[in-house]
Amino acid sequence: MTKYIFVTGGVVSGIGKGISAASIGRLLKDRGFSVFMQKFDPYLNVDPGTMSPYQHGEVFVTKDGAETDLDLGHYERFTDEELTKRASITTGKIYLKVIKKERRGDYDGKTVQVIPHVTDEIKGAITKAAKESGADVVITEIGGTVGDIESLPFIEAIRQVHSEHPKGDVAFIHTVLVPQIPGSDELKTKPTQHSYKQLMSQGIKADVIITRSDGDVDESLRNKISLFCDVPPEAVVQSEHVDLIYEVPLIFHKQKLDDYILGLLNLEAKESRHHEWKDMVDRFKKADQDLTIGLVGKYVQLHDAYLSVAQALMDAGYENGAKVHIQWIDSEEIEKDGPEKHLKGLDGIIVPGGFGNRGIEGMIATSQYARENKIPYFGICLGMQIAVLDVARHLCNLKDASSSEQNPDTNYPVIDLMESQISVENVGGTLRLGNYSCHLLEGSLARNLYGQESVEERHRHRYELNNDFRGQLRQGGLIFSGIHEDLDLVEIVELKDHPFFLACQFHPEFKSRPNRIHPLFNGFIQTSLKNKK
């Protein structure tokens, strides 16, 4: 029988609820249990795919093509498990299903209400995830903060899950902020007490309380929280500030959180394999070189817009004994000042994904500068299209070559819509999404980095390299080293006579793990280290 853990947040948002949930997943996996993780987001969007990155950070994509919250990236990196569309549920997705059922007449003329129809749909999402994954434990994070009007149906649904299962099948974990009074060192538990009571008023009693604070939650504070929130002192766990987010599972293990959760769920304790994770963290913390990578993009004011890219860069750096320092560079600044001012002295340059025409010329200038100055260049999604446009303009004499996304009237639409995308009307969920196969050219850099003939990678884009220009681009020196053969689409391009000039149409950052670095990120960081020396 599957067990269920629900993680809620109190006092304020943004206190690391997702990292706590992911860390619990890691702990349970290290104890020999299979886990599946979910995120419930209370907004009315069906998914975050149509949101600006400034609204919600990056959009993480699952292997089956679901556009999801960035917390799913943490879940996958910590647990090293590939998630599916069952992992991401929004209010919009739930209500869309309910309304479609109502229009079809599935409710037999009944009045459609939040209880039971909406809550039943939410519970169905939980049980479907359990059934399809076959996991021993499903861990579900409820987005937002307890007391938010938007999250009430989710809170009610998980209360019902608890009431419908035997004791020991469901556990509630509540994460809270323990604030420090300005001008003093005193930590206050009153917000925690109020948050606990708010949760209780909605029918849920927390089994574990995870605290976040600037100071140490000592024994006296633990006992106080224990007394007022009706949990044992050992169920009050501190999520300490750490230098490396991957230390959080070790912090929890030190406080025996995994043992306590196993006791709550009546799971037979197995010997922990946490030493493997600890060895990785210890190795990462010994990194003693410094590496400066320029990330050139259009959403750099919000670093979460490139969260998975940044994490993959840092993880690959740690694995190679280096601390990666990311220089966040706005491509529009390059358009104003020229590339030399912003790019000179960098050890490597990466151009990640994006949409629209803002800052595109600055990115093309970035690719040209990296290419001509032999600086390692790694392009991802839009970054590949940028590299192709650079080669088309400056090595193939296709003056003003462009993408039909940025310039529909260009004479040289080197990047263009796929035929299947031309008649698409809806914006949401209609891109090329999820896993696609990629055959690698023998003798290419990509083939050498992967060490295998074919791979599967995740996509999120609408425009592709226009095959009509393959011949001219090949004459300009561009190598098509990765091809999706079924649709004959270019997936990876690279150049000879350059230490590392490689770009891919897919998003390798979504498959990079701290304990299993993606080959392309690994190769880019290794070459950047050589470039530095």
Residues with catalytic function: 381, 507, 509
Decide: 393 and 383 in contact? Cβ < 8 Å. Answer: no
Contact (CB, 8 A) for 363 and 339: no
* Among the listed residues 362, 295, 301, 296, the one whose alpha carbon sits nearest the alpha carbon of residue 324: 295
CB 292 within 8 A of CB 376: no
Those residues with Cβ within 8 angstroms of residue 200's Cβ, 6 or more apart along the chain or in another chain: none
Q: What amino acid occupies position 271?
A: E
CB atoms within 10 A of CB 197: 13
Chain centroid offset of residue 12 CA: 22
Closest to 498 in 3D by CA, of 473, 531, 465, 455: 531
Number of Cβ atoms within 10 Å of the Cβ of 111: 7
Residue type, 275: H
Helices and strands, number each (H, E), in the chain: 19, 21
Q: How far apart are CA 324 and CA 109, in angstroms?
A: 60
Report the C-alpha gap between 271 and 264 in whole angstroms. Answer: 17
What is the β-pairing status of strands 454-461 and 432-440? Answer: antiparallel
